[in-house]
Amino acid sequence: MTEPTHFDTGAREWDQRPTSLQLAAVPPRLLAQVPFAATDRVLDFGAGTGLLATAIARHVAHVTALDSSGPMLQVLREKGFANITTLQQDIFDGLPERYDAIVSCMAMHHVPDTRALLQAFADALQPGGRIALVDLYAEDGSFHGDNAAKGVHHFGFAPDALQALAEQAGLQGIAFTEVLRMHRSNGREYPLFLMTGHKP
Ligand SMILES: C[S@@+](CC[C@H](N)C(=O)[O-])C[C@H]1O[C@@H](n2cnc3c(N)ncnc32)[C@H](O)[C@@H]1O
């Protein structure tokens, strides 16, 4: 029996956290920048309680909400979206289909091997498929504070390094825009990027 994670124990209150309330600005900004088609089948990596999945599901055919936390996905299921399927597994355990787009918000920094993660994304995309990934720009570790307890493996990301890994994985047209500035109780601001690109 493994210990419950920070996400398992926090799932019921997740959407009311100050951080989640600020992150609610991300889905409309992502949707304004990234085109989706009504026929698209989308993977949300680290979907949690569905911050992105529930917004995107209104514009596409289907969203697979992948997360290793059962309690986070239970909260998402209770939101009652007919075209969202939850998938409780690790991202590296193999994926059941190829997707037209892969999205993610604030999950990449929880995965130790970013190179393998971007390769898994590239492998899971249809030709022409797109990525739209949101996470922290490089910071000093003060965003989460208790990084070990929260399973944080990266203090944000440098765009150049991420772009190089994405291109090595076979993705093209990589671009970054600042999508949100988060305010924390330590009085500091932390910018978040939206990374876009596609598989040729
Ligand atoms: C900070 S939460 C973000 C949740 C949601 N995207 C949001 O923005 O509110 C990160 C999520 O990624 C999930 N996660 C972390 N590593 C994972 C992995 N290797 N495979 C699947 N899910 C993972 C966690 O369980 C957690 O629910």
Tens of pLDDT, residues 62-100: 999 999 999 999 999 999 999 999 999 999 999 999 999
Domain count, the chain: 1
CA distance 158 to 168: 16
Q: How many CA atoms lie within 13 A of 96 on its CB side?
A: 12
Decide: 7 in ligand 1 pocket, CB within 6 A: yes
Give domain status of residue 111, yes or no: yes
Q: What is the pLDDT of residue 1?
A: 63
Q: Which tens digit of pLDDT belongs to each residue from 135-145?
A: 999 999 999 98
Pocket test for ligand 1, best of 5, 67, 89, 102 (most atoms within 8 A of CB): 67
Give domain status of residue 44, yes or no: yes
**Domain membership of residue 62 as a residue range:** 6-198
Amino acid, res. 112: P
The structure tokens listed for 129 are 């498929």
Give domain status of residue 1, yes or no: no
Q: Which tens digit of pLDDT belongs to each residue from 156-184?
A: 999 999 999 999 999 999 999 999 999 99
b or e along 149-181 (b: 16 or more beta carbons within 10 Å of the residue's beta carbon)?
A: eeebebbbbeeeebbebbeebebeebebeebbe
Ligand 1: nearest atom to the Cα of 104:
6
Q: What is the CATH number of the domain that holds 141?
A: 3.40.50.150
Decide: 46 in ligand 1 pocket, CB within 6 A: yes
Whether 197 contacts 166, CB under 8 Å = yes
Q: What is the pLDDT of residue 147?
A: 92
